[in-house]
Structures are given as structure tokens and as C-alpha cells.
Amino acid sequence: MIYERPYYYDKFHCIAGDCPMTCCAGWEVDVDCASREYFLSLEGPLGDELRATMQPTPEDEDMAFFPLTDEGNCPFLDDQGLCRLYSAYGEEGFCQTCSEYPRYFGVTGSHQQIDLTLSCPEAVRIFFADTTPITFSVSEDIMEGEELTDEEEMQLLDLYQWRDALMRKLTAFRGTTSELLQLLCQQTELKDCPCDLKDIGELYRLLSSTEELDGRWRDALNKISRLPDGKTAFSPMDQEPNAICLRLCQYLLFRYSIDIFYGSSREDILRLMIRSLMTILLIYHSGWEASDAHSCRAIWERGASDTALPSPEMIRLMDATLLFSRQIEHSEDNVELLKAL
Ligand code: SF4
């Protein structure tokens, strides 16, 4: 098996009680087959509650999920923000989703891509702690992956060649954020560029139709709706090189280009990258601010980081990235919306 991961991956450790967010709210928790079996075998009141709460996944009867409460939380989140299953059963009480998050592992044939999801504030802190282009490490072992047909192998090779060529362009890029968006729009695959900075209305309409996963999304949308159309919506920051925007493009390319193997087009991936970066910038420029308790700034205030406190602007960009990821990246439907023509 060949493993690819960004260099920052190994720096992640959950900061648990110092975390300003919870990963137990906003999205349904998928329960893998082994955890489902384990949960079904448990006795006592918690076992009964698990059997009553767990719902079968329509597409796969071996899998299950925990539906959210009316408040949008995991039903096993307690008043102190702790997991009742972890408190009762230790590590075994965690299903695969909970023990891996915010790490993700995508296997295609004999390739596995590994990364952190930017919906976790500590992952965002690590991501923003460096401003050099992301480098990726590749390692290999004797584990066998799933067998692919010759045609599928060719498809995979083709998409990796495309991804790596674009990644090289991004790594060498030194222009402004506006020019970065233009570079993506100028890729030959893209016929209609979705990054018309003069018309943010179309993107706003798309964002308004996403399924709401984060309760703060509506507030951010309201603020975005008050932005003036046109280039004034994009402050001088976009007219200067911004290393974080470049890193975000690399993150999106690494994460989503594999979707081409599963039916997306190159054009879809480029549209998703452009719209995702523009969404983060729109949230940032709208003046939306996370509450003190839910801001990435809390990580420094709680002493969970040994690096210097970033500028208020950088904290706002971190919070905008976190909100984008929590709202968009945990819903396949939302991701597909940003890919669509
Ligand atoms: S969001 Fe990240 S840092 Fe916070 S509790 Fe979850 S995994 Fe840990």
C-alpha cells in the first residue's frame, strides 16, 4: 500500500477539555459494523438506550448511525460536553468515526490518502501555524489494497498525474489571492470560471441552499448578504500574496481530486476549490465573528498552544475556515453543490 499524507498530519493531538468546540454536534455519527455489533451486545440501561437510539443506515444494513437530538447534538453527549459512551466503556465506547476524527483515511486501490479535516479547531491551529506551501510525504508497505481493473488503474494514474501537475503549479505560485483564483480558472478543464469577483450573488445563492450543519451558518450568511457586490467585497488582503489561501487550495486539491475516480470531473474539482476558497474569504470579509467561547482564539486563552497568539485578522480567517469546513465538508450534498455547474 502507498500512503500519502501532508507533513502536518503527525502534529495533531486532541486537546479535549481545552477545545472551544465539540466534535459531537452538527453531524450524525456513523457507526461502523464492529461498533454496531459491540453496542448491540451491551447490557444495562446504556445498552438499552443504544439499541433504542441507533438507526440502520439505509444504504448498508451492517452500518448504523446516531440521529441528532433536537439541539443538534450527538445523543450521547452529556451536559459537561463529554461522551457518555467513552465515560462508561473507555476507548471501546468510541466507534471508528469518533476515534479517528479529525483524521480521515481514503483508500482507493493500493493508495491511501491521509489528512486532517479542518472542522476541528486544533487541526486549524496546526494548519495555520505554518505559512510555507504544504509538502506531502509518501511511504509504502507490503499491505495489499483492493484490486482494480487495468482500466481503473489507468484512471487512477491519470488523475494523480493531473493532481500532481496542478499541485506543482500551486507550490511554485507566488502571486496574490486574486491571481491564485485566476490561475485555477485558467486551467484548460474549466470552461466557465465561477470566480467572477464582481458577482458574488451566484455563490451566495448556492451557499444559501446548503443543508445547515452548523447553527452559526445563518448568521454568517446574513452578514455575507450585506456585502456589496463587486471587487470592494474583497479587501486589499486579496491583492497581496496570502500563504494560507495557497495552503487551503493545496488542502482542497489533495482532499477532493480523488473524487474524480468516483465520478466527478476535473472541472467539478476546480469549481469546488474556487468556490470553497471564495466562501472562506466571503465569511472573513463579511465581518462575521465567532463568539469568544467558540473562537480558535480560545485555544491560546486556555494555554493549549505554545506558539504566539496570531493577529486578530488571522484568528478571524481561522474561524472562517473552521465554519466553512463544519458547514460544507461534513455533508456530501453540500460538497456536491459547490462542485455543480
Ligand atoms: S474538535 Fe478536535 S480538538 Fe476538539 S475535541 Fe474534537 S478532536 Fe479534539
208-245 tens-digit pLDDT: 999 998 989 999 999 998 887 654 555 555 666 689 99
Residue found under cell 445563518: 218
pLDDT for 137 equals 97
Confidence of residue 28 (pLDDT cuts 50, 70, 90): confident
Closest residue (by CA) to atom 8 of ligand 1? Answer: 14
Q: Please, what is the end-to-end C-alpha distance for the chain in angstroms?
A: 35
311: Cα separation from own chain's centroid: 23
Q: Looking at this protein, which amino acid is placed at residue 199?
A: D
Going by pLDDT thresholds of 50, 70 and 90, the confidence category of residue 120 is: very high
Write down the pLDDT at residue 91.
84
Q: Would you say residue 38 has pLDDT above 70?
A: yes
Grid cell digits, residue 48: 438499552
Q: Which atom belonging to ligand 1 lies closest to the Cα atom of 24?
A: 6
pLDDT at 17 over 80: no
pLDDT per position as a tens digit, 45-64:
999 999 999 999 888 888 89
Write the CB contacts of 145 (distance below 8 Å, at least 6 apart in sequence). 1, 107, 108, 109, 110, 111, 112
92 CA to middle of ligand 1, Å?
18
pLDDT, position 238: 66
The pLDDT value given to residue 212: 92
Supply the mean pLDDT for the chain: 90
Helix (H) or strand (E) holding 28: none
- Average pLDDT estimate for 261-272: 95
Rg (CA), the chain: 21
Decide: 143 in ligand 1 pocket, CB within 6 A. Answer: no
Q: Cα of 14 to ligand 1 centre, how many Å? A: 5
Confidence of residue 25 (pLDDT cuts 50, 70, 90): confident
Residue ranges per structural domain of the chain? 24-100, 150-339
Q: pLDDT tens, 183-192? A: 998 887 777 7
Closest CA to 116 of 325, 337, 333: 325
Residue 145 CA to ligand 1 centre (angstroms): 30
| Residue 16 near ligand 1, beta carbon < 6 Å | yes
Q: Residue 176 above 90 pLDDT?
A: no
Mutating to test ligand 1, I would choose from 11, 18, 23 the residue with most ligand atoms within 8 A of its C-beta, which is 23
The residues with which 138 forms a beta bridge, in sequence order, are 4
Question: What pTM was computed for the model?
Answer: 0.91
Whether the CB of 23 sits within 6 Å of ligand 1? yes
| Residue 59: predicted pLDDT | 80
**pLDDT higher for 121 or 93?**
121
- Beta carbon of 17 within 6 Å of any ligand 1 atom: no
- In a 3-state reduction of DSSP, which class is residue 65? strand
